Structure 1
Amino acid sequence: MGDFNLALVIVAIVVCVIVFLFNIYLLVNYQHPDDANQAYFPKIIVVLGLSVAAISILMLPADVANRQACEHALYNGACNLTLPMKTLWLVIYILDAFLVFFCIPFAMFYYEGDQDKSTWQRIKSSLIWVVATAIICGLLLGILYALVGKVDFSVRHLSSPVANFPNSWETLSSTKPCIVPGNNECAASLANASSQKTWTMRTTFPEYVVALATIVGSVLFSIFGGVGIFCLPLGLIFSFIRRPKAVITRSQYIKEATEMGKKARELKKAADALRQEERSGVKGRKWRKNVKSVEKELLLLEDDVSALEEMYPQGETAETAWVMTVLGYLAKIVLGVFGLIISVAWIVHIVIYLLISPPLSPFLNIVFIKLDDVWGLLGTLAFAFFCFYLLLAVIAGEMMIGLRLVFITIHPMKWGGTLMNSFLFNVGLILLCSISVIQFCATSFAYYAQATAAQEIFGHTLESLRGIKYLYKYNVFQYVFLILAILTLIYYLIFGWKKKKPSGRFQLSS
C-alpha cells in the first residue's frame, strides 16, 4: 500500500514538472516579439498561473486515484499513507484566488502603466490599486464570513429502543425495518417529517474563500462555457466548410490587398486621434468605446490578412504553404467532429444526470468506470480530458463573446503575437473558471468521484453554504449553461454556413 502511494507521489511530481515546462514552451512561442527579453515578472506570473490552473484540473483525477489507494485496504491505518488531498485542494485554490485577485492585477497595472514614468512610480501606482482592491475584498469577505459563513446540513433524527437480538433476521423487511415491532423511527424512509432537523456549523475561512471564488467563476463559466461548448467544435467545422477551395489570381489578390490597405490607413488615423485625445486628458466613456471599436476592427483586419495570405501564398515555398493550409483545414474538420461528439456527450450527461431527478442514468460515470476496468488509468485519463475540454470551451466562448460585444476588452491569444497584458487577462480567466470547472465536474461525475476530498469541499460544504446553496439546489448554473449552449447551436446552424462579408468603412463614434 505504501509503495502505491509512493508511486502516486512520484507521478504527481513528474506531471507537475512536465506541466511547468510545457507552459514555459507556450509562453516562449506565444509571446509578442516586443516582449522578448523583458517583462519578466508578468512572465513568471503567467507560467505560475497556467501551471496552477492545469494542476488544479489534474487534481480531481489524482483525488480519485488517491481514494483508490485505500479502497482495498487490509488494515485501518492504510489510508493514513495517502496524500492529504483536502489540504492540497485548499492550498491550490487559495493560491488560485491570490493570483487572480492580487498578482495578476498588479502585473497588468504595472505592464500597462505609463512608460514615461520610472519603474518605482509604476510599482507604486500598481501597489496602490492592488492594496485598495485587497482592502475592499478583505472587508467584504470578513463581513460575509461573519454574517453568513455557515453551512446548514439537513439531517434526520432516528431512534429505536433497545431490544434483544431476534432469533431470526428473516422478519426484517422494507415494511418492517426495525427490530422492535411497531417502531419505525429507525428507518429514514418511514420516519415522520418532524424527525428532519437542520444541523448548522461554521465553515473554515479558507473553504469560504474557495466557495465565493467558485460562485464568481461559476457565473463566468455558465456564460462562457455555455457559449463555448458548441462554439469550439462548430467553429472548427464551419471554418473547414468556409475554407478557400483554390488559390486566387494575382489580380484578385491585388484588389483585396488594396482594400485592406485603405482599411489599415483608416484604423491608423483613428488610433492617432485616440492617442491625441488621451494625451490631452480626454478619456471619457465615448473614448473608451472608440478604443474597443478600434481594437475589434484591428483584430478582424489581422484575420482578413491571414485569410488573404492563405488564399495567395507567395515565395519559393508557396506550394508547400498551400499544402500545409489544406492539411490544417483537414485537421480542423477531424478535431471539430471529435469535439462535437464530446460536446453532445456533455449536454446529454448534464440533462439526464444533473437536471432530471432522480437521474435517468449515471452515463459518463459508468463509461469511466468501465474504462478503468480495461486499464487502471484509462478512465482517469478520459475523466481528465472531459474536464480540460470544458476549460477550452470557456476560452472559446470568451473569445466569441468578446468579438461581438464592444464593451468587453478583447485579449486575443495568437501564436508569436500575444502581448503580456493579453496573456495575463486570459490566465486570470482560466484560473477563475478552473475552480468552477472542477466543482462542475465533481458534481457531474459524483458517482465516479465519490468519497473524494473534492466532493467534501465542492459537494457537501459548497452546496450547503448559507445564502449560496439555493443556486446549486435549483441547478441555476446548469440551466444557464444549457440554454446558452442551445442558443449557440441554433446560431451556428443558421449563420455558420455564411462566409464573412467585407466590412464597410470604419468610423469612430461622434
Structure 2
Amino acid sequence: MLNWWLIVLIVVMPLICIGLAVYTIVYFQSEEDSKVDYVPKAVAGLGLVLALGSILLVPYDVANSPDPTVAHKFNQSLNTQLMWQIVLWMMAAMAVVVCPFFLFFYEAYDPDKPRVSTQFVHGVISTVVIVALFILIVSLCYYFKGVADINFQAYRGDPQMVLPDSSALTYTVNSIKSTVTISVSIYTYCIGMLCFFGWIFFFFYGGTGIVAYPINLIRGFKSRTKAIGASRFAEEMAIILAKADAMLELCKELQRESRGTISRSAKNKINILRNEVYFLEAQQAQLIWAYTKAGGSPFIVYGKLVLGMVCLVTAILWCLQIFIYNTFDADPFLNTLLLRLNDAFALCGICAYGIFAFYLTWSTFQGQIALGLRLLFFQIHPMKKHDTLVNAFLFNVSLLLITTYAVIFFVVESFRDYAAMTSINGLMNVFVIHLRGIGVFIRWAQFLFLGMSLLALIWVVACPKRKRRDPTKIRLDDLK
C-alpha cells in the first residue's frame, strides 16, 4: 500500500532545507560580494542542504521502517539503506573535497595580481593534500582494524523430543556473553572515521555551545542595550573611531613585519587583531542599534530571552538523556515523548525531534565562535548579518558537515527506541559503534561531551566577560 505520509515527507523536507539554506546565505552574505561569487555560495548552500537534510532523514527513515504489528508495514516501502549511502557519501565529498577546494581557491585571491590560474592551482594542491591524508589514514586503519566486534547473548539448550504445541515444551534461559568479529565494508569504515573526526569537533565545540549559548542569551537580556541620545552616541562613536585608527596602525605595522614568510608568532598576532576587530565591530553595531532603534524592538529583546530559556531547557534534557538512557538505561525518557507524539500525529514527532537535533548543530556553531574568540590559535569565521564573506560560509559549512556525522550518530544512539528497525540504526548502533579501535572512542565520546559542557558552564559562570584591552594603548610587541 502506498504510504502518503512518506510522499509528503520526501517533498516537503527538501523544500524546507533549500529554503533555510537560501535564507541563510542571503541573510548573512556580505553586501560587498552580494552580486559576485555565486558558485562558492551555491556550494555552501548545497552543503547546508545536505547537512540539514541528513538530520531530517532520520524521522523519514522512522516513518519507512517496518513494523510487523501494523498492517501494510511488514516491510520497507523504499530502499533507505541506499538512500543513506548516497547522502553520506555526498556529505563526505563536500566536506573533504569540494568545500576545501573552493575555500582555498577563494583565499588565494590576490587583488594586486588577480589570476584565476594561480587560485586554481593553489586550491587543487591544498585539496589534494587534504584528500591524500584522509585516504592514507582511512586506508591504514581499515587494513589493520577494519572489523567490528559485536557482542551478543548465546543461548544453549538440550533438544526436546516433543511436538511444538506440547505443554511439555520448555525454553532455556541459559546464556553466555559472546563476541562475533565481522569484516566491514569500506563504506561503513569511512562513515566510522568521519564520526570519529566529527566527534572531536562536536564534543569540543558542541559541548561548549550547548550551555554557553543559552546562558549568554539570558545574560544578554539582563545587560541589554538601552536607548541613548545624540550626544552620548557622538561621544561613544568618537571613542570607537580612535580605537579603529589605533588598530589600523597596528595592522600596518604587522604587515610591514610580516613581509615574506609569516611566522607562528605573527599568525597569533593576526588572530588577536582579528578578534579585537570583531569585538570593535560588534560594539559599533550595538551602539548604532541603541541610537537608531531606541534599544530595539521588544519582540526581539524578549524573544531572545524566551529563546535562551528554551535552549537552556533543551540542553538540560539532553544531559538527562545521556545519564538516564544512554548510560544507565533506566528509562527511555525522550524516546517516550517522541514515540507518543509520533503516534498521535507524525508531524509533532518530527518537530520535537528537529528541535533536539538542530539545537546540537546550532550549539556547534556557537561553540566554535566562542572558543575561537577566547583561544588565540583558532582562526574565527563568525557569521554576521550582511557581513559574512564566502570563506566564512565555506569554513562553517565544512565544519557543519563533519560534525553532522557525530550529530546523526548521537541522536540515533540517544533515540534507539524511536529509531528502532531503521537503516541508520543498523549502521550506527550495530557496526560503527562496535568498530575495533575507533568504536571505543565513539562510545565514550558522549561523556567527553558532558565533561566539556561542565567545563563550559564553569567557564561561563566564572568568567562571564573578558576585559578588553584598549587598542589605543596596545603595542605590537605586547601581542604574544
TM-score tier by shorter-chain length is: over 0.9
TM-score by length of 1: 0.87
Q: Which residue is 1:458 aligned to?
A: 428
C-alpha distance after superposition, 1:170-228 (max 9, x if no partner):
667xxxx53xxxxxxx43xx33x5xx443222111111111100000011111111111
Residue 376 (structure 1) aligned with residue 346 (structure 2): yes
Corresponding residue SS for 1:377: helix
C-alpha distance after superposition, 1:406-443 (max 9, x if no partner):
11111110111100001111111111111111100000
Letter paired with 2:91: D
- RMSD value, Cα: 2.2
Q: Which residue is 1:55 aligned to?
A: 53
Report how far residue 232 of structure 1 moved: 1.8
Q: Which residue is 1:19 aligned to?
A: 17
Q: Which residue is 1:352 aligned to?
A: 324
The change in CA–CA distance for 1:381 and 1:170 in structure 2 (over 3 A counts) is farther
Select the residue among 379, 384, 398 that pairs with 1:409: 379
Report how far residue 331 of structure 1 moved: 0.8
Q: Which aligned pairs between 1:390-405 and structure 2 lie closer than 5 A?
A: 390-405=360-375
> Contact 1:229–1:397 at 8 Å: present in 2 too?
yes
> Contact 1:53–1:430 at 8 Å: present in 2 too?
yes
- The count of aligned residue pairs is 474
Q: Which residue is 1:46 aligned to?
A: 44
> Contact 2:218–2:304 at 8 Å: present in 1 too?
yes
> Contact 2:205–2:368 at 8 Å: present in 1 too?
yes
> Contact 1:31–1:419 at 8 Å: present in 2 too?
yes
> Contact 1:152–1:200 at 8 Å: present in 2 too?
yes
> Contact 2:205–2:363 at 8 Å: present in 1 too?
yes
Letter paired with 2:450: L
Letter paired with 1:224: Y
Q: Which residue is 1:94 aligned to?
A: 89
C-alpha distance after superposition, 1:112-160 (max 9, x if no partner):
1042141122112211121222223222222221211111122444343
Q: Which residue is 1:312 aligned to?
A: 291
In the alignment, the residues of structure 2 paired with residue 502 and residue 342 of structure 1 have an alpha-carbon distance, to the nearest angstrom, of: 32
C-alpha distance after superposition, 1:371-393 (max 9, x if no partner):
22332331232112211111111
Q: Which residue is 1:271 aligned to?
A: 251
Select the residue among 227, 237, 243 that pairs with 2:208: 227
Q: Which aligned pairs between 1:246-265 and structure 2 lie closer than 5 A?
A: 246-265=226-245
Letter paired with 1:429: L
Q: Which residue is 2:149 aligned to?
A: 152
Q: Which residue is 1:183 aligned to?
A: none
The change in CA–CA distance for 1:19 and 1:164 in structure 2 (over 3 A counts) is same
Report how far residue 266 of structure 1 moved: 1.3
> Contact 2:290–2:296 at 8 Å: present in 1 too?
no
Residue 482 (structure 1) aligned with residue 436 (structure 2): no
In the alignment, the residues of structure 2 paired with residue 415 and residue 91 of structure 1 have an alpha-carbon distance, to the nearest angstrom, of: 33
Corresponding residue SS for 2:376: coil
Give the structure with higher Rg (CA).
1
In the alignment, the residues of structure 2 paired with residue 167 and residue 59 of structure 1 have an alpha-carbon distance, to the nearest angstrom, of: 43
Q: Which moved more, 1:262-271 or 1:374-383?
A: 374-383
Letter paired with 1:130: T
Residue 302 (structure 1) aligned with residue 281 (structure 2): yes
> Contact 2:228–2:294 at 8 Å: present in 1 too?
no
The change in CA–CA distance for 1:167 and 1:118 in structure 2 (over 3 A counts) is closer
> Contact 1:463–1:469 at 8 Å: present in 2 too?
yes
TM-score by length of 2: 0.92
In the alignment, the residues of structure 1 paired with residue 15 and residue 92 of structure 2 have an alpha-carbon distance, to the nearest angstrom, of: 22
Unmatched segments (≥5 aa) in structure 2: none
Corresponding residue SS for 1:79: coil
Q: Identity across aligned pairs (percent)?
A: 28
The change in CA–CA distance for 1:169 and 1:296 in structure 2 (over 3 A counts) is farther
Select the residue among 217, 220, 229 that pairs with 2:198: 217
Q: Which residue is 2:75 aligned to?
A: 79
Unmatched segments (≥5 aa) in structure 1: 179-185, 314-320
Q: Which residue is 1:110 aligned to?
A: 105
Q: Which residue is 1:316 aligned to?
A: none
> Contact 1:274–1:287 at 8 Å: present in 2 too?
yes
In the alignment, the residues of structure 2 paired with residue 40 and residue 348 of structure 1 have an alpha-carbon distance, to the nearest angstrom, of: 44
Corresponding residue SS for 1:88: helix
Report how far residue 74 of structure 1 moved: 4.7
> Contact 2:196–2:441 at 8 Å: present in 1 too?
no
Report how far residue 10 of structure 1 moved: 4.5
